């Protein structure tokens, strides 16, 4: 590809980037306006008098509680998912037992189950064990639903790990538990960082499960809690825009600083060895 081809490619990518970023910029301007500016003749214009107090109004509601719920539920689900997926992947790829292939197929079948088809069975199950309106139901659901995709990312990396390391550790008297937690797990840090980022984005933005299983405001996350916030400020759209900005800031920060980790983790699983 010559210089002209690269120039056309860069111009095209710049246009795509502007199209992708513009909604975020518009939402930020939206959050600094009052109703008269939002519904005025120029809704895309810059705010004449930025209303930073919209963010104060937003935080004075329950958004702080929703934000805290999103953080601890997301973090707990990520820890459980990554640890369990790493254990399962280690057992399937590094240990020899008859049903390892069948168990792997069972996990991968989870990728083909639509979320909507599982809502009623999950609701009935959680209702039977008194976990409706309990954040534990959300943590369990996030963990199980993210296990297949997490294992699929880990598989390629685990298959390429040199067995000589394990053999040397076993000869030195290393147990299976020590082998996994002190040797294998640290070696998979690059690909684990990829799974953490992917799980965080899914858990943070998830709506359907929380909306179905959680009724009390004290357990709702940001994605569902914003619904109540919109009802609370249905005639004051500036604070609504502020709540949306607050809800997407953690994902933007994560993407900005760690997006390269996703590429590194996936490429390391593909070309390692």
Residue 175 falls inside a structural domain: yes
Asked, for residue 180, whether it belongs to a domain, the answer is yes
**Residue 99 is assigned to a structural domain of this protein:** yes
Average pLDDT, the chain: 86
What's the pLDDT score for residue 271? 46
pLDDT reading at 183 higher than 60: yes
**Burial class of 30 by CB neighbour count within 10 A (0 to 12, 13 to 18, 19+):** buried
Out of 57-61, 90-94, 120-124, 131-135, least confident range: 57-61
Looking at the domain assignment, is residue 2 inside a domain? Answer: no
pLDDT digits (tens, 9 = 90+) for 134-164: 999 999 999 999 999 999 999 988 988 888 8
- Nearest 5°: phi and psi at 192? -65, -35
105-133: pLDDT as tens digits = 999 998 888 888 889 999 999 999 999 99
CA distance 129 to 144: 17
Q: Is the pLDDT of residue 193 over 90?
A: no
Instruction: Read off the CATH number of the domain in which 184 is found.
Output: 1.10.3720.10
pTM of the model: 0.84
Number of domains in the chain: 1
**How sure is the predictor about 272, in pLDDT bands with cuts at 50, 70 and 90?**
very low
* Domain assignment present for 158: yes
Q: Which domain holds residue 112?
A: 62-271
Q: Is the pLDDT of residue 187 over 50?
A: yes
Is 5 inside a domain boundary?
no
As a whole number, mean pLDDT of residues 21-30 equals: 90
In a domain, 152, yes or no: yes
In a domain, 199, yes or no: yes
SS3 labels along the chain:
CCHHHHHHHHHHHHHHHHHHHHHHHHHHHHHCCCHHHHCCCCCCCCCCCCCCHHHHHHHHCCHHHHHHHHHHHHHHHHHHHHHHHHHHHHHHHHCCCCCHHHHHHHHHHHHHCCHHHHHHHHHHHHHHCCCCCCHHHHHHHHHHHHHHHHHHHHHHHHHHCCHHHHHHHHHCCCCHHHHHHHHHHHHCHHHHHHHHHHHHHHHHHCCHHHHHHCCCHHHCCHHHHHHHHHHHCCCCHHHHHHHHHHHHHHHHHHHHHHHHHHHHHHHHHHHCC
């Amino acid at each position: 590809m010559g210089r002209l081809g690269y120039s056309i490619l860069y111009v095209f990518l710049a246009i795509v980037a502007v199209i992708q970023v513009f909604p975020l910029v518009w939402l930020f301007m939206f959050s600094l306006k009052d109703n008269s500016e939002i519904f005025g003749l120029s809704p895309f214009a810059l705010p004449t008098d930025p209303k930073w107090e919209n963010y104060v109004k937003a935080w004075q509601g329950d958004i702080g509680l929703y934000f805290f719920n999103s953080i601890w539920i997301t973090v707990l689900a990520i820890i459980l998912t990554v640890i369990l997926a790493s254990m399962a992947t280690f057992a399937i790829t590094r240990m020899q037992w008859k049903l390892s292939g069948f168990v792997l197929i069972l996990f991968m079948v989870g990728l083909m189950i639509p979320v909507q088809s599982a809502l009623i069975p999950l609701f009935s199950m959680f209702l039977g064990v008194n976990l409706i309106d309990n954040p534990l139901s959300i943590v369990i659901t996030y963990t199980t639903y993210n296990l297949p995709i997490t294992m699929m990312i880990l598989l390629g990396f685990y298959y390429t790990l040199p067995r000589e390391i394990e053999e040397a550790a076993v000869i030195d008297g290393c147990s299976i538990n020590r082998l996994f937690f002190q040797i294998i797990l640290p070696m998979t840090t690059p690909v684990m960082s990829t799974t953490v980022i992917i799980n965080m984005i899914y858990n943070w933005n998830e709506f359907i499960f929380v909306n179905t299983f959680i009724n009390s405001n004290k357990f709702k996350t940001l994605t569902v809690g914003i619904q109540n916030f919109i009802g609370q400020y249905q005639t004051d759209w500036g604070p609504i825009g502020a709540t949306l900005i607050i809800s997407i800031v953690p994902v933007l920060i994560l993407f900005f600083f760690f997006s390269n980790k996703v590429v590194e983790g996936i490429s390391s699983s593909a070309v390692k060895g």
